[in-house]
Amino acid sequence: MSSTEAAKETGRLETFADGVFAIAITLLVLEIHVPEGGEDLGAAILAQWPSFAAYVISFLTIGVMWVSHHQMFTIIRRTTPTFLFLNVLFLLPVAFVPFPTALVAQHILDPEGRTTAVLIYGAVSVVIALMFNVLWAYAYRRGLVAGSAGEGGLRVSLGFLTGPLAYLAGTMIALINPFISMAIFFGLAIYWMLPGRIPSGSG
Amino acid sequence: MSSTEAAKETGRLETFADGVFAIAITLLVLEIHVPEGGEDLGAAILAQWPSFAAYVISFLTIGVMWVSHHQMFTIIRRTTPTFLFLNVLFLLPVAFVPFPTALVAQHILDPEGRTTAVLIYGAVSVVIALMFNVLWAYAYRRGLVAGSAGEGGLRVSLGFLTGPLAYLAGTMIALINPFISMAIFFGLAIYWMLPGRIPSGSG
Amino acid sequence: MSSTEAAKETGRLETFADGVFAIAITLLVLEIHVPEGGEDLGAAILAQWPSFAAYVISFLTIGVMWVSHHQMFTIIRRTTPTFLFLNVLFLLPVAFVPFPTALVAQHILDPEGRTTAVLIYGAVSVVIALMFNVLWAYAYRRGLVAGSAGEGGLRVSLGFLTGPLAYLAGTMIALINPFISMAIFFGLAIYWMLPGRIPSGSG
Amino acid sequence: MSSTEAAKETGRLETFADGVFAIAITLLVLEIHVPEGGEDLGAAILAQWPSFAAYVISFLTIGVMWVSHHQMFTIIRRTTPTFLFLNVLFLLPVAFVPFPTALVAQHILDPEGRTTAVLIYGAVSVVIALMFNVLWAYAYRRGLVAGSAGEGGLRVSLGFLTGPLAYLAGTMIALINPFISMAIFFGLAIYWMLPGRIPSGSG
């Protein structure tokens, strides 16, 4: 297969992945409902703060995932049917994010359900971060990565490992205080958005 | 028309198809509703297992369709208005998948409705698999396939035929036991995700 | 501006338009609701036939619009900010299609509301077909069309004019019988899907 | 990094942004509900005019944002991880637009809530316009802009500044009359759609 064909294959995988990322991130707004209003619409909207907070945290989290996926693919040159399927398996929990987001938004003010809601939210994030490492490990070992990125590759591998560990720690904290747990998920998204935090084999 | 223009045409068809695949696969999550919770949110979520199972099966099934469509287009070089329309007809049942998915999720625990729900779910899968063969047969006979893929082409043709037959068999089993039927649909998706199962003219 | 930059501009316009087409066509399924079921789920689903019929007609209609837009852009080489905005104005009624589709699905069996519902459905189709001619007229007069397509261009212009007239006639018939009107919209989509019906400057 | 790789990076950012724009603009229609009808379906639909007006205003506003983003990227050649994240932050309020749109549609006829609804609608527009300037300022200062566009760049910078000011003025007017405020937002979208109004470094 020529390099042009290979480039085309990666292009379509990225288009599909970008579509799923873009749709999942945009569907988040559908979970925010317009309040009836009555006397004080402003107060009714402020009372929905968990929906807005969950929207921002999940939007930034999916955004970080998208940038990471994007950066990973700047050094991936080829693809295989198995790699396409691994990407489908990676996108399965990504597309699922609107559910735990709505779960947390609706139950974070409910003392009995909030721990369960945040544990599920965190578990989905851990699964996504793990799948991210599976994607990279497969691409790296099967030689789908651009040759010149070999040295950076190992550094990238170690960098990606911090994701699942950080999300696992954040999730465990929900057993003590679910609010701190969500604050950590917010902080993690901000942290990875700072310059130089996303591992990049080309940098 | 130059080869560049032809490539551009295929590109846009793939972009549109990828969009429909990505949206259909991501809309599946909208069918999963957040439970009210009450005393035990965890138990309420576990009771929704049919929704999660249907999400996973349909996600993987659409994922397999996307990879198959992707692989088919690695050897399709040109397009015609009729081929564009055949793709629209192929995408019609693909975009419809969220409906039978929600149907099965809501009725698999209902002894009176579950057989009907799974029969409809399976019928949609059979139609998609048939349309897939129509797409390929048209592209192959009208010479839209890259010349070098001619020998692999016949092998591909036979490989695609197993799809409708497998889904038809899985659907028929719903008359005996709808749960086994859904398990077969799950198994078929996993089977096609194994290395080397998707027919490929370039391999 | 170099020809490469111009091509890039058209590419992004097509990506955005394809996105709106793909999303509008895939959102149609959200208007079909899963019946409660009760004793006879099959009968409950059959009673929803207007939803399925409206889904198929709107899916094919949007599909025809997409293929027409695609064919038009095979001979459009450049773009201008005004042309981008005309495309936004063209996409406004396209993205609106899920509303009249749901309107017809819910009111076609209602003797008092069905005429109004189908008149609105038809009016949206007329507007889309008119906007299609506006797009083409602007592109043709402003020289955005590839030079070699000049002769075919006039033929294309005349071909596109049949769209608004056909949809207007179909809409008017709703005043006599809304069912015949919807059957005409279905027939028009099938007609344009037949080989050679979509005007093409390159054929 | 070669220029080809850089082009690929920008391409994927544009694909993702186009996806979010296309989805946000197409989700707007989901906020318009089909009326029950009863005796006079036409009157029931006319009574929904705020939903239709809000649909048109938000559709045109997102359309203007998309064209502006498109025009900006015709002269942006490179990207950095930080620029990707700034685009994610820019898309956060863009994807949020369906919420204030539904808020205005449901409360513009409610004398007690309409001012709050339009203030929130306007505030989201101001934030988007501000983020647009942040995007441009970063790209311009970090040298992501094509060299030949340097002279036009300063003109572009000044042109983009009018956006936040115009939306802020329109928002303030909601304190006097929310209807005039919405009319201004409509007028702003139309104004920027006129030829030559969108700043362009290449024109």
pLDDT at B6: 43
* C-alpha span between C25 and B50 (Å, rounded): 27
| Tally of domains in chain B | 1
Question: Do D98 and A60 count as a contact with CB atoms less than 8 A apart?
Answer: no
Is A112 domain-assigned? yes
Average pLDDT, chain A: 84
Give the model confidence (pLDDT) of D58-95 as tens digits: 999 999 998 888 888 888 888 888 888 899 999 999 99
**Would you call B77 an interface residue with chain C, using a CB distance cutoff of 8 Å?**
no
Beta-bridged to residue C76, according to DSSP, are C145
CA A133 to chain centre: 12
Q: Is the pLDDT of residue B191 over 50?
A: yes
* C-alpha span between B171 and B185 (Å, rounded): 9
Nearest-neighbour CA in chain A from D87: distance (Å): 9
* C-alpha span between C26 and C28 (Å, rounded): 5
Residue C137 burial (CB count, 10 A)? 13
pLDDT at D200: 55
pLDDT at B136: 87
* C-alpha span between D72 and D144 (Å, rounded): 11
- Give the residue, D139 or C195, on which the prediction is more confident: D139
Q: Which residues of D touch C24 (CB under 8 A)?
A: 26, 29
Question: Do B41 and A95 count as a contact with CB atoms less than 8 A apart?
Answer: no
Q: Which residues of D touch A15 (CB under 8 A)?
A: 15
Is A42 domain-assigned? yes
SS3 (DSSP) at B108 = coil
**Would you call C142 an interface residue with chain D, using a CB distance cutoff of 8 Å?**
no
Nearest-neighbour CA in chain A from B40: distance (Å): 7
Q: Which of D14, D26, D38 sits opposite C24 (nearest CB)?
A: D26
Nearest-neighbour CA in chain A from D63: distance (Å): 16
Q: Which of B29, B39, B202 sits opposite A95 (nearest CB)?
A: B29
Give the model confidence (pLDDT) of B36-79 as tens digits: 876 789 889 999 999 999 999 999 999 999 888 888 888 888 88
Is B129 domain-assigned? yes
Q: Which of C29, C37, C200 sits opposite B99 (nearest CB)?
A: C29
Give the model confidence (pLDDT) of C140-199 as tens digits: 888 787 765 555 565 666 667 888 999 999 999 999 999 999 999 999 999 988 876 666
Give the model confidence (pLDDT) of D150-165 as tens digits: 555 656 666 678 889 9
Is B137 domain-assigned? yes
DSSP 8-state class, residue B129:
H
Is A116 domain-assigned? yes
Lowest mean pLDDT among B158-167, C70-79, C143-152: C143-152
The residues near A166 (Cβ < 8 Å, ≥ 6 apart) are A129, A188
Residue in chain D lying closest to A201 (CA): D1
Residue A191 burial (CB count, 10 A)? 12
Residue in chain C lying closest to D201 (CA): C1
Is B158 domain-assigned? yes
Q: Is the pLDDT of residue B150 over 70?
A: no
Q: Which residues of C touch B112 (CB under 8 A)?
A: 37-41
Is B202 domain-assigned? no
**Would you call D33 an interface residue with chain A, using a CB distance cutoff of 8 Å?**
no
Backbone conformation region of residue B11, classed left if phi is above 0, alpha if psi is from -120 to 50, else beta: alpha
Q: Which of B109-123, B129-143, D69-83 has the highest mean pLDDT?
A: B109-123
Question: Do C41 and B84 count as a contact with CB atoms less than 8 A apart?
Answer: no
CA B86 to chain centre: 16
Residue in chain D lying closest to C113 (CA): D41
- Across the range D12-23, mean pLDDT stands at 88
pTM score: 0.89
Rg of chain D over Cα atoms, rounded to whole angstroms, equals 19
Token pair, residue C49, equals 């036939």
Backbone conformation region of residue D33, classed left if phi is above 0, alpha if psi is from -120 to 50, else beta: beta
Is D153 domain-assigned? yes
ipTM rounded to 2 decimals: 0.86
The alpha helices in chain B, defined as continuous H runs, are: 3-27, 41-46, 49-73, 81-96, 98-107, 114-141, 150-172, 178-193
For residue B74, the enclosing domain spans 3-193
Question: Do D9 and A74 count as a contact with CB atoms less than 8 A apart?
Answer: yes
Token pair, residue D163, equals 């956006």
